[in-house]
Amino acid sequence: MTHDAVLLLSIIILLTPLLSFLINVFFGGKLGKISGIIGTSILGIDFVMAIVVAFTKLVTYPDIHTIQTRFEWISLGPIKVVIGYGIDNIAAMMLIVVTLISFLVHLFSTEYMSDDRRYPKFYAYLGLFTFSMLGIVIANNFLLMYMFWELVGISSYLLIGFWYEKNSASNAGKKAFITNRIGDLGFFTGIMILYMTYGTFMFDEVFAGISSGVMPFNSPTFLTLAGIGIFLGAMGKSAQWPLHVWLPDAMEGPTPVSALIHAATMVAAGVYLVAKVFAMFTADALTFIAAIGTITAFVSATIAITQVDFKKVLAYSTVSQLGFMIMSLGVGGYTNGFFHLVTHAWFKAALFLAAGSVIHAMHHAMHHMHDHHTDPQDINNMGGLRKTMPWTYRTFLFVTLALSGVPLTSGFLSKDGLLAGTLAYANLTGGWHWIIPVMGFAAAGMTAFYMFRLTIVAFHGEPKTKIASHTHENKSVILIPLIVLSVLSLWFFYSPTPIDGSKGWVHRLVVQPASAVPAAYQWSFLLPEHAGEASPAMHAEGEGHEAAATEELHHEAQPAAHATTHAYLNKFQEESHHFHYIAMFLSVLIAGGAIGLAFMIYQYKVISADKLEARLKFLHTFSLNKWYFDELYQATVIAGTVALSKMLSWFDTYIVDGLVNLSAYITRGFSFITGLFDNHVIDGAVNLIANTTGFVGARLRKVQTGHIQTYLVFVLVGLLVLLYYFSINF
Amino acid sequence: MMDLNYITEDLIKSVGQFLPETALIITFLVAMMADILFKRSKHLTGYIAMAGLVIAGFLLYHQTGVNFKGFANMLVIDAFGQFMKYIVLLSSLIIIIFSFYSDELHAAHSRLGEYYTLIIGMTFGMMLLVGSSNLIMIYLAIETMSISSYILAGYTKEVKRASEASLKYVIFGAVSSGIMVYGISIMFGLTGSLNLFDINQYLASHQVDHLPLLISGLLIVAGFGYKISAVPFHFWTPDVYEGAPITITAYLSVASKAAGFAVMLRFFKTTFFGADQLLDGTWHLLGSINWHYVVAALAILTMTLGNLVALWQSNMKRMLAYSSIAHAGYLLMAVSVMNDGGVSAVLIYFFFYMLMNLGAFFVVQLVSNKLHTEDIEAYSGLGYRSPLIGVALTIFLISLTGLPPTAGFIGKLYVFTSVIDAGYYWLAVVGVLNSVVSLYYYVKVIRNMYLRDIESKEDKLVFSPSAIVIVFVLAVPTLIFGMYFTPIVEWANFSMNIFIGN
Amino acid sequence: MVTEFGIILLYFILGFLFVGIALVMAALIRPSHPNPIKNSTYECGEIPIGEPWIRFNVRFYVIALVFLLFDVEVVFLLPWAIVFKQLGWFAFIEMIIFVVILLVGLAYVWGKGDLDWEKPKPYIAKLEDLVLGKKKQ
């Protein structure tokens, strides 16, 4: 395929879900159940096209950074806005992720949502969401990115609040939207800083501007600020601390929606954005990003341990994993971060769909038993589902292993590389930066622990309620997506060896872009290495890696990289390779320990969970209440806003009004006098203007008498007046 | 006889560049014969006419990039003319499609063949007018299109107001042509030529008296003013627009205006363009008359009167008639700056105006088919009785008002930009004030559609799917061009150079 | 050799002869039965003497209009004939096209029945026809 064909096909991929939206929104009422079939098949076609595009890009043109097009959108004198779209390697991979998961969610929903009376509308929203998400994927400029970013915000609002009859659902939709808006404010500010400086929205032009040494307001601080602003947008969408509060609430939406937007697509958009504009972050901005990612990963992992709502555990787990990705990008592990995004997308979508399967089964059992009070999502009402829902259990267990980072899974490959990166980073920078790997490993351990807690409590043991014992395995429409997604979490899709992700194709194709920031403002270890500085240690590495690394060099456009004597792009990669085995050892140890602990507590009850809870009462409550973030915001931001508004209102009522009243008393005296003048002169003038328009119109209307004779007279008179006027004046 | 051979060669060469018009003549003849031979087939001539227009458009496409003076400098082929001819052809095509849906035309008529044939005749006249560079040619072209339009306006002769409209149109047209011919004769007396290029040469090398030149120029402009319904030559417009079949009203409001504006711009540029032109695209006008102010005065009069009187209309067609007068005023603003930017603004505006105005008229026609009235009151609750049509009409009206995100906004934006660039801030202020006034009467219709008489909404109006498709074929571009308009702007910028010979 | 004016003189003489001979021959050949109607002035079928404020039959004008149209357009043939020799094939084809257009026009008029001299159908006026056109505002 030629470049033009790739571009044409990508725009078709973008617009196809929109077609699904239009069909379902306009004809949904008539289509009824058929709308699901239409939506699903449209997405199926879209997925096939995405595969074609992605393979063309990844196999035929892996070396071309971006196949892109640009065109002038607005040109008003000096103001020119150029936009466009393009496919680079990460966009190609994201196309597959988005379309496949969207397709599977469409398929899953045909059964899951079949009882809903707004069924066609659901498919319409899914189509709109997929469209906006694909727009983010193929945008190659800030402007389009921002537009689709907002579209994603709107469509996710519609999906989260889909059951708007439930107060909590509509509140969750609002919360998600507003929290995202806070982040978007930063995003917008960042974009505006860049546009004012470089006069363009295109990524590559902005990067070129930065690398030419032009700084916003002549200060690298503002470049950092622009970077942090854009990252704020990413924080909103990717639910990074402290803007993470919306995601757990968003679990009020239908579960397939959670699988689509809270596992793989919308929340990944933030990570994707950071990856796309990675070249513009200064060292300071990257440190900020790393810190936020680490805090998010750690905090949400601690919260996930105590949650009892099936979906909430998964939600906090998602936040935590997103924190990992952001952390990895922040420490300079670009490839690892993106790799984790892809692998996480598969197994987290699988986890959510499995949750959907369980909830669906619980619902059916409740319906069967005429029980409408039990919470179908509370894991303490489950138990023993392993026997009643064997396929759901198997897939769930497998993807739990993947998420916990157990070898032979994709999660192991990506998380291991990611943690090795944090160790390398800490080693290269030293000092307090060691906190990052420590918290990272801790969070990884907690991940394994809470996931197995969830698995054991929900699936193992005896049924805790009658409902749980009456559940049945779901139809194959629900199971197929689960199986497909869990198969995709096997290691061999990504790497020939189950222990080292960096030997796989992802590392070959997703190459860290050279930073556009002048060398003085970026981490020295991320600078491309020069030939003379090659360390002898790297020659000891295996031949396979040598080959892969030369490939990397081949992709890299930097002239310095053409040197042949060394295999690493920069010190960071060299260092993270050294830490690879340490990280692998540590993470296997920690995950294994955490899994063992979970089994001891919840399966074999060697350690009593209740006693542990009682002993760690404070920590437990703190975690159960999600570190009181909602309460904190209630007490600070919301209460602050309310207080401020009350204060302003008080100020208004007493001070301003008082002054106004005072002046009013004074003026009243005058006004009594001027009132007369006013009534008769000023009002008269205002009314005159208002009425004149109408009056003149009404008079002019009278000119149109309907008699051709008068018309002609008017024409002649008009002509003479014009003649007279212009012969006198000009 | 050397001279004769030269003329013959010129003729043969010119015929080669006359293909689109030739195609229209052939279409005209074929349609006429088909009308006699196949009396029973209702739409045959319509289809022939459409085919002819498409072929003419195709041939026109082949003239891209040609700059040519032919037929002894009587006709000019250039990019500017090409743009306007596209608009003429496109709107003719759209009008013929509209006519297939018109109940009033089909009510009791076996003469539809003539109708389509005359549309082709009128199109031919307009194509000639767009390219004319000789005063006699201009006059002939105006007459060719006018005579067809007189008949078309009174086509439904059983309807009294249609015959009345037609008769008024004839008389008014005759007087206007008379005024124009008077101006032409004075011009001939002053400069000794009818050819615009020769007049230009003469003006460049001789001193011409101020008053006669003003009189002749103003009288000629009066002839154009009648075609574009500029105040005070607009009086026929409301009566004819109200009386004529809706299709013809729409046609007159777009195509014949396009031709009028084209010939006006060509007349000003070719006649008064000084060779010592400034580099920024401003035309340096010959003669002592400040045509900027003459046209600006016409513009102000036209848009103000159009908007003020439109406020009071209760008939949709009549309201749109006054609105089209107001739009002529906005366009005249861009003409008055008399530079290439202004020409480009006129072209951009015209393209968008064609979409939105034809769309609005088509909706009026569809509604009138169902409700047998054009009263604005009858639009109450239309937004609920037929949601799709309601949405489309809303788009068209918002676009006519000139609010974003519609094409009308972009058109106005470029017009105002060209006026401000030329330094006529006062003119821009008047234009903006007028836009504000226009908001009132357009929104009145929207308010009627959505906020009034909602109890009658259960009484659904069902339109044929193909009609709705056509409405949206016009409405969707109106929206899309409001957001992505660069291609049209680039096309207009490519076409803004009126060919004035070398 | 005659001068240019001589040619015109010859033209005049030939003209007079042509008309004179025709009149004289006709007077010799025709039968003579005069009556008042025959002796009255011919005015296209209308009564030549009387009130001028009468309704003329509209059919006259249709025919007259059509005639005038063709008549005026045929005038174009004259300048063409003069330069035909120099212009050659181009002029020939051009004129054929012109004549074909005229023929199509003739066919159209014929086909539409505008050349038929039909009896007018009486039209009884209704009341509303007498009311003047509604006043426009």
User: A626 — phi, psi (to 5°)?
Assistant: 60, 45
Give the dihedral of Cα atoms B198, B203, B206, B209; nearest 10 deg: 130
Provide the total of helices (H) and of strands (E) in chain C, helices listed first.
6, 0
Other beta carbons less than 10 A from residue A427's beta carbon = 17
Chains that touch A (3 or more CB pairs under 8 A): B, C
CA distance A708 to B172: 7
Are the C-beta atoms of A400 and A452 separated by less than 8 Å?
Answer: yes
Are the beta carbons of A712 and B171 separated by less than 8 Å?
Answer: yes
* Chain B residues close to C90, C-beta within 8 Å: 8, 11-12
**Cα distances (Å, whole numbers) of residue B206 to A3, A77, B146, B198, B271:** 61, 38, 35, 12, 14
Which of A202, A233, A230, A234 has the alpha carbon at shortest distance from A85? A202
Phi-psi region of A67 (alpha: psi -120 to 50; beta: other; left: phi over 0): beta
- Burial label for A653, CB within 10 Å (0-12, 13-18, 19+), is exposed
CA distance B439 to B437: 5
Give A713 to chain C, closest Cα distance, Å.
17
Buried b (16+ CB within 10 A) or exposed e, A571-608: bbbbbbbbbbeebbebbbebbbebbebbbebbeeeeee
Are the beta carbons of C107 and B160 separated by less than 8 Å?
Answer: no
**Cα distances (Å, whole numbers) of residue C134 to A701, A707, B165, B236:** 15, 10, 12, 16
* ipTM greater than 0.95: no
Instruction: Characterize the bridge pairing of strands B75-77 and B68-70.
Output: antiparallel
Are the beta carbons of B11 and C90 separated by less than 8 Å?
Answer: yes
In terms of CA atoms, which chain B residue is nearest residue A26? Answer: B388
Give A693 to chain C, closest Cα distance, Å.
18
Are the C-beta atoms of A266 and A152 separated by less than 8 Å?
Answer: yes
CA distance A144 to A81: 11
Name the token pair of B350.
Answer: 């015209």
Of A694, A714, A730, the CB nearest to B235: A714
* Chain C residues close to A704, C-beta within 8 Å: 136-137
The percentage of residues in chain B with a pLDDT greater than 90, rounded to a whole number, is 44
Of A694, A697, A715, the CB nearest to B233: A715
Beta-carbon contacts of B179 under 8 Å, excluding residues fewer than 6 positions away, are A715, A719, B219, B222, B223
Could you report the per-residue pLDDT of A235-250, keeping only the tens digit for each?
888 888 778 888 888 8
Are the beta carbons of A74 and B176 separated by less than 8 Å?
Answer: no
State the pLDDT at residue A394: 85
Beta-carbon contacts of A38 under 8 Å, excluding residues fewer than 6 positions away, are A20, A23, A24, A31, A123
3 state SS of B19 = helix
CA distance A578 to A572: 10
State the pLDDT at residue A547: 41
C136 to chain A, any CB pair closer than 8 A? The answer is yes
Most confident of A200-209, A414-423, B290-299, C46-55: B290-299
Q: Where are the alpha helices (DSSP H) in B276-403?
A: 291-310, 316-336, 340-371, 382-385, 387-401
Chains that touch B (3 or more CB pairs under 8 A): A, C
Place of tokens 């002048």: A518
CA distance B324 to B242: 13
Which of A249, A220, A57, A61 has the alpha carbon at shortest distance from A137? A57
* Chain B residues close to A700, C-beta within 8 Å: 305, 308-309
Buried b (16+ CB within 10 A) or exposed e, A475-486: eeebbebbebbb
Chain Cα centroid distance, residue B302: 15
* Chain B residues close to A27, C-beta within 8 Å: none
Buried b (16+ CB within 10 A) or exposed e, B301-311: bbbbbbbbbbb
Are the C-beta atoms of B283 and B207 separated by less than 8 Å?
Answer: no
**Cα distances (Å, whole numbers) of residue A115 to A110, A127, A251:** 10, 19, 19
Could you report the per-residue pLDDT of B176-225, keeping only the tens digit for each?
999 999 999 999 999 989 999 889 888 888 888 888 888 999 999 999 99
State the pLDDT at residue A713: 87
CA distance A255 to A104: 13
Domain spans in chain B, listed from the N-terminal domain onward: 290-502
Q: What pLDDT band is residue B457 in, cutting at 50, 70 and 90?
A: low
Give B290 to chain A, closest Cα distance, Å.
7
Phi-psi region of A479 (alpha: psi -120 to 50; beta: other; left: phi over 0): alpha
Give C127 to chain A, closest Cα distance, Å.
21
Beta strands in A376-488 (DSSP E): none
What Rg value do the Cα atoms of chain C yield, rounded? 24
Asked if residue B405 has a cis previous peptide bond (ω within 30° of 0), the answer is yes
Q: What pLDDT band is residue B478 in, cutting at 50, 70 and 90?
A: very high
CA distance A573 to A577: 6
Are the beta carbons of B218 and A71 separated by less than 8 Å?
Answer: no
- Cβ contacts below 8 Å, chain A against chain C, sum to 11
Q: Nearest-5° angle of CA A619, CA A622, CA A623?
A: 85
Taking only residues 76 to 135 of chain C, the set having a beta carbon closer than 8 angstroms to any beta carbon of chain A reads 133-135
Place of tokens 């038929």: C116
CA distance B228 to B259: 8
Of A77, A715, A725, the CB nearest to B235: A715
3 state SS of A388 = helix
In terms of CA atoms, which chain A residue is nearest residue B161? Answer: A706
Name the token pair of A477.
Answer: 């429409």
Are the C-beta atoms of A344 and A411 separated by less than 8 Å?
Answer: yes
* Chain A residues close to C137, C-beta within 8 Å: 701-702, 704, 706
Are the C-beta atoms of C101 and C69 separated by less than 8 Å?
Answer: no
Q: Is the dihedral of CA B469, B471, B475, B477 positive or negative?
A: positive
In terms of CA atoms, which chain B residue is nearest residue A726? Answer: B294
Are the beta carbons of C101 and B1 separated by less than 8 Å?
Answer: no
State the pLDDT at residue A680: 67
Give A701 to chain B, closest Cα distance, Å.
6
Are the C-beta atoms of A384 and A460 separated by less than 8 Å?
Answer: yes
Phi-psi region of A79 (alpha: psi -120 to 50; beta: other; left: phi over 0): beta
Is pLDDT above 70 for B356?
Answer: yes
* Chain B residues close to C115, C-beta within 8 Å: none
Give B233 to chain A, closest Cα distance, Å.
6
Other beta carbons less than 10 A from residue B452's beta carbon = 16
In terms of CA atoms, which chain A residue is nearest residue C134? Answer: A706
* Chain A residues close to B165, C-beta within 8 Å: none
**Cα distances (Å, whole numbers) of residue B432 to B145, B176, B355, B482:** 33, 31, 22, 19
Chains that touch C (3 or more CB pairs under 8 A): A, B
Could you report the per-residue pLDDT of B244-287, keeping only the tens digit for each?
999 999 999 999 999 999 999 999 988 888 766 555 566 777 77
In terms of CA atoms, which chain C residue is nearest residue A702? Answer: C137
Mutate to test the interface with B, among C65, C95, C102, C112 (most CBs of B within 10 A): C112
Are the beta carbons of C104 and B32 separated by less than 8 Å?
Answer: yes
Name the token pair of A690.
Answer: 């208002």
Are the C-beta atoms of B222 and B176 separated by less than 8 Å?
Answer: yes
Please enumerate residues of A whose Cβ is less than 8 A from a Cβ of C: 701-702, 704-706
Give C133 to chain A, closest Cα distance, Å.
9
Beta-carbon contacts of A222 under 8 Å, excluding residues fewer than 6 positions away, are A193, A215, A216
CA distance A599 to A404: 14
Give B32 to chain C, closest Cα distance, Å.
7
CA distance A322 to A195: 29
Mutate to test the interface with C, among B1, B3, B4, B8 (most CBs of C within 10 A): B8
Please enumerate residues of B whose Cβ is less than 8 A from a Cβ of C: 1, 4-5, 8, 11-12, 25, 29, 32-33, 35-37, 160-161, 164, 238-239
In terms of CA atoms, which chain B residue is nearest residue A77? Answer: B417
Of B171, B294, B486, the CB nearest to A73: B486
What stretches in chain A show pLDDT beneath 70? 76-78, 528-569, 609, 618, 664, 667, 671, 674-675, 677-680, 682-686, 689-690, 729-730
Are the C-beta atoms of A318 and A268 separated by less than 8 Å?
Answer: no
Place of tokens 């929900």: A458
Of B36, B161, B239, the CB nearest to C107: B36
How many CA atoms, within 13 angstroms, populate the side-chain half-sphere of residue A507? Answer: 25
In terms of CA atoms, which chain C residue is nearest residue A706? Answer: C136
In terms of CA atoms, which chain A residue is nearest residue C133? Answer: A706
- Burial label for B55, CB within 10 Å (0-12, 13-18, 19+), is middle
State the pLDDT at residue C123: 64
State the pLDDT at residue B421: 84
Beta-carbon contacts of B468 under 8 Å, excluding residues fewer than 6 positions away, are B388, B389, B392
Which of B336, B488, B466 has the alpha carbon at shortest distance from B407? B488
Which of B496, B212, B446, B196 has the alpha carbon at shortest distance from B346? B496
Give B471 to chain A, closest Cα distance, Å.
16
In terms of CA atoms, which chain B residue is nearest residue C128? Answer: B160
State the pLDDT at residue A532: 42
